Structures are given as C-alpha cells and as structure tokens.
Amino acid sequence: SAMAAVRAVEIDPEGTFKYILVRLQRPGGGEQRDIVRGTKAAEFHNHIFEKVNPEMEKLGYECKCLGGGKIEHNSKDKKIRVFGLSTGYGKADHSVTVEILKKEYSDYEITWSDDKK
C-alpha cells in the first residue's frame, strides 16, 4: 500500500533530540500506521509535528501525535536510548517506539525508560 511507502523512522543520525510518535490513518478509519520522527532542529515537539502533518496530509493521511520524548542516538556504538516526555503531547509509549526503531536499526541495542534525562 502507499502507506507502507512512508518511512517508519526519520531521526537524526547522532546526538540527543526530541521525538514524537505519530499515527497515520486514512480519513474515515481503516488502515493505520505509527511512525517515529525526531530531530535536533526542533526546539519543541510541536515543531516536528508541524513539519510532518502537512507532508502526510498531502499524501492523503490524517495525523495524530501519540506523544513524545527524547532519543539519544549513538551511531558509533550502535545504541539508541528512548526516554523523557513531551510537555505538550504527553509521553509517547516508548515501548511502541522501540519496536518501530528495532525494525529500522536491527543491529542496534535499543533501550527505553521513563527517566526524564
């Protein structure tokens, strides 16, 4: 399907940055999919959503932010840590985020916690 063509994960290759978990769905229900987006360029979580939402609307999907947090990406050691929360959107279900990340970064050690930092 076209929805499967949307990249599940788009995150910065290095560093610690904010991320959000976003649910895409066809208007009127039906098919849905969760994607992860994160970047150092975003000062606040809503900046990420404000970029993703119009891109997905153009493709004909509705977006809902399921929450956010932070990602610490260490590409040298092949480690990703998911933690923290978003003040505006609340905490994403990091366990869901990790499952999505594992598909994309299958050779990484990926962990999560509810720690703030």
Q: Tokens for 13, please give them.
A: 């290759």
The residues annotated as belonging to the active site are 45
**63 secondary structure, DSSP code:** E
Q: Is 78 annotated among the ligand-binding residues?
A: no
CA distances from 70 to 5, 80, 105 (A): 25, 10, 17
Q: What is the C-alpha to C-alpha distance for residues 64 and 23, in angstroms, rounded to an integer?
A: 5
- Can you spell out the DSSP letters for 38-56? EETT-SSHHHHHHHHHHHH
Q: Which residues are annotated as a binding site for substrate?
A: 18
- Residues in binding site: 18
